[in-house]
Chain A
Amino acid sequence: MRVFQPAMRISLLWCCAGLLLGIVVLIQLKLEQHSGGRIAKLEQLRLLPRGEVLRPALLGYHHVGADFLWLRVVQVLGDRVVRDQDYEWLYHALDVITTLDPKYVYAYEAGGTVLAELAARVDLSNQLLEKGLAPNPNSWQIPFKLGFNHFFHLNNYRRAADYLAQAARVPGEFPIGPPLYTARLAARLYAQGNNPDVALEFLAGMLDQTTDEKIRGQLMRRIKRVSLERDLQMLERAVQQFVETRDTRPPSLAKLVEAGLLAQIPHEPYGGEYRLDSATGDVTSSTHSERMRVYRSSDSMASEGDPE
């Protein structure tokens, strides 16, 4: 018995196909909400096999494999909220990417920066960057970043200077070779690691190389904080000079300018003002009561850490 005409039957089949497609899309959307797309993306990165195993399985396409993994890492990082524990997978994914392509300099550089600056995992950042040193002897970015980590996060000026000197030895003109200031910075680090001016020069160099907005924000905050410390040290030196020449403490900071010890009172980078305690001679900021001890020559540098 023929219930439908052939043309009608075809239309009915098309309708059924459309209906089934709609159901498939709906279920897919439901599943997406259920698992949480981002968690699924994270899970995939966390469960990646080791690079040594994955590399032969990719049959010569390991470079493109590294690219696709990098794309995934970038997508997850682009999400608004990345929890602290999520950075564990980031290191694993970066380790796999750099095993698939040990010459992927950008992955070491960007990964090392994110791990140190956003995740506060300097240990993992250094581990990743150290891995990149041997296969990339012509990269100045990797030792530069290692120098930055040792300087700002570990306060180990000697090693920071060693890494910067290594970066400075890479031949070629910027951007293939290191920026011109690298050798000078290394020399200054060897001589006066705890000078805030050196830190500001290092930070400015790092800011030049960073495009990521989150990390640039972090560096800008650091620059403000170190600028504050530099100003306080400069004002303290002027107060000291005032005391030495006049045998009395200055009643206000304006007196330092009048005495010709300062050209002007610097602007407080956070919009506050600098204050002088005329009784003790201490200079403070109206916005920050804590000082950055790492830049004070009288303090031990290795154990204090960075107040930022």
Chain B
Amino acid sequence: MIARILSISLNSFRENLREKLLYNLLIFALLMIGSSILLSRITIGDYHRLILDIGLASINLFGVLIAIFVGIGLVSKEIDRKTIYTIVSKPIPRYAFLLGKYFGLVITLLANTAVMVLGLLVVLYVMDVPITGLFFQSIGLIFLELMVITAVALLFSTFTSSTLSAIFTLGIYVIGHMSGDLKELAKKLDEISQAIINVVYYVLPNLERFNLKGHVIHGLDFGASDMALTISYGLTYAGLLLLLAGIIFQRRDFQ
């Protein structure tokens, strides 16, 4: 089974590499990272933080855009092109197809993130900015966030159109970053509103948990236990979303 999933993943990866959008976003990301050199010349004070901030934010933002806009087409494109019939008629479980598609995009994101990180490392080296272990921890958690976002996009793409999937996934991304602030604001509201916001806070993915950009620029320690908990949180959440996607996809009628 693993071999089948792997072959679908590699096929999906090759297919993703043909997406022009991927290269456009990658070029933009690299331009943004490179532009931090110019911007650091016009600031005063801590130019290290500017380069790190812009670099990490670019990797994060463009990674999310790739995850969403490539992720939403993973299943719906197969349905639109009717290629899904040839796949579901083969002796491959539907969940294996989904997992294959998911890991295909994860490999694509890994390759993209590696290119963007390499670009940033070159800039950091040229500008003599110290590179710490926290930097790599932060990149790791950005990648974990991308894995969760991809799973969200895949889940929506199993039961709705590409456009709606994109809107829903962007919605989850926005709420995922705002839920902590919403919880704080809810303290001023009545108990029912607080309860609703608490449900949103605990059930929807809290994407701020994967945000270590502030830790990197301020050199704040992020303990091994915190890191382990955050990784467990991300992987469990992505697993839950894939399970839901599998259940929905299993029951879906393509007639």
A277 CA / B32 CA spacing, docked (Å):
69
> With contacts A59-B173, A71-B39 known, is A64 near B57, CB below 8 A?
yes
Residue of A nearest to B145 (CB): A60
A117 contacts partner chain B, Cβ-Cβ < 8 Å: no
Q: Is A14 in contact with chain B by the CB < 8 A criterion? A: no
Among the listed B43, B44, B54, B211, which residue makes an inter-chain contact with A60, where contact means beta carbons less than 8 Å apart?
B211
Please choose the segment from B68-76, B213-221, B244-252 that sits at the chain A interface, where 4 or more of its residues have CB less than 8 A away: B213-221
- Inter-subunit contact B42/A75 (CB<8 Å): yes
Q: Which residues on the A side are within 8 Å of B213 (C-beta)?
A: 60-61, 63-64
Question: Does A236 have its Cβ within 8 Å of any Cβ on chain B?
Answer: no
Measured between alpha carbons, how far is A103 from B39 in the docked complex, in Å? 21
With A63-B213, A63-B217: A211-B44 Cβ-Cβ less than 8 Å: yes
Given contacts A74-B42, A101-B214, contact A60 B49 (CB under 8 A): no
- Interface 9-residue window, one of B10-18, B99-107, B174-182, B190-198: B174-182
Query: Considering the chains assembled together, what is the distance between the CA atoms of A64 and B177 in angstroms?
Result: 15
With A71-B42, A110-B44 as given contacts, are A59 and B57 in contact (CB-CB < 8 Å)?
no
Q: Are A59 and B214 in contact (CB under 8 A)?
A: no
Give the residue among B44, B173, B211, B217 with the most A Cβ atoms within 10 A.
B44
Q: Is the interface of A mostly helix, strand, loop or mixed?
A: helix
Cβ–Cβ < 8 Å partners of B50 in chain A: 67, 71
Please give me the residue from chain B that is nearest to A57 by CB atom: B178
- Could you tell me which residues of chain A, from 47 to 78, have a CB within 8 Å of some CB in chain B? 55-56, 59-61, 63-64, 67, 70-71, 74-75
Q: Is A304 positioned at the interface, with any CB of B under 8 Å from its CB?
A: no
Q: Which residues of B contact A71 (CB under 8 A)?
A: 39, 42-43, 50
Q: Is A270 an interface residue (CB 8 A)?
A: no
Contact (Cβ within 8 A) A60 B207: yes
Classify chain B's interface size. Answer: 20 to 34
Residue from A56, A75, A107, A212 within 8 A of B181 (CB atoms): A56
**Which 6 residue pairs across A and B have the least CB separation, nearest first?**
A56-B181, A106-B45, A59-B177, A64-B57, A64-B53, A60-B177
Using a CB–CB distance below 8 Å, which chain B residues touch chain A? 39, 42-46, 49-50, 53-54, 57, 60-61, 173-174, 177-178, 181-182, 207-208, 211, 213-214, 217-218, 220
> Can you list 13 A-B contacts (CB < 8 A)?
A56-B181, A59-B178, A60-B177, A61-B61, A63-B217, A64-B54, A64-B57, A67-B50, A71-B50, A74-B43, A103-B214, A110-B44, A211-B44
* Chain A residues proximal to chain B, CB less than 8 Å: 55-56, 59-61, 63-64, 67, 70-71, 74-75, 101, 103, 106-107, 110, 211-212
Question: 10 other contacts beyond A64-B57, A103-B214, with CB at 8 A cut-off?
Answer: A60-B177, A61-B57, A63-B57, A64-B53, A64-B213, A71-B39, A74-B42, A74-B44, A107-B45, A110-B44
